[in-house]
Amino acid sequence: MKHPAVSSIILFEDENLIIVNKPPFITSEQENEPGSQSLLDILKKYDSTVRLCHRLDKETSGAIIGAKNDATYREISMKFQNKEIQKNYHAIIVGEREYNDNEINLPISKQGSYKAFIDKRDGKKAITFVTTVEPFKHYTLIVAKPETGRFHQIRIHLASIGAPLMGDELYGGEPFFLSSVKRKYKTGKYADEQAVFTRAALHSHSVTFEYKGQELSVIAPYPKDFEAVLKLLRKYDKLPEMTKAQ
């Protein structure tokens, strides 16, 4: 019998592998939070053999790969180690930016258990490629392709070039308020404006790798909050069309 909470997020499944669309605000695995439920906890109620082959941050949504047996777990782990799995992340960053496969090559160290920082002396090699997908007046939707898998890599890399993620307060981003893009926006007489988007705007959009002799490419649809903020940006923060030369 399928577990309904899992059935709604499955992107791909066979006898060896399961790829799901992780919701935001849930840890990948249990992290000493009494009473909380991780993605792995939910998956194990569906299939007790599942092991996650990698992790996403608690706030990050999107495609995550799980294995149903030891052989598949080893196979996927080796693919990650050999950089044979292409991961594409979509992110909304602060500012109108134009990137075309720009390389960010900055070494990273981990500060305790909660934050990363650029460390050119002792940091581990970290490379991310960034391309603009859709620019707005005050924000930009981008695709980020990490070649390495360092802690908070995309978040700290983007912040380090002055383009933090929307909502990523840990690295200099701010929550999104509609008043920041909608002219003459007014709240109710006795109400303070509430942020529309409060998490780091990062989504694991796709994973691509060779599986059973063929290329397997799986795309994870945006969660509701990510889709909603993009609709607001397209409505209220759209760039003016360039005037055509006469």
Is 178 exposed, middle or buried, given 0-12, 13-18 or 19+ CB atoms closer than 10 A? middle
Q: Which of 47, 57, 122, 192 is catalytic?
A: 57
Q: Tell me how crowded residue 35 is: count the other CB atoms within 10 A of its CB.
A: 4
Burial of 5 (0-12, 13-18, 19+ CB in 10 A): middle
Closest CA relative to residue 126, chosen from 150, 142, 110, 145: 150
Phi, psi (deg, nearest 5) at residue 120: -75, -15
- CA–CA distance, 242 with 134 (Å, rounded to integer): 15
70 is catalytic: no
Distance CA 134, CA 16 (A): 37
What are the catalytic residues?
57
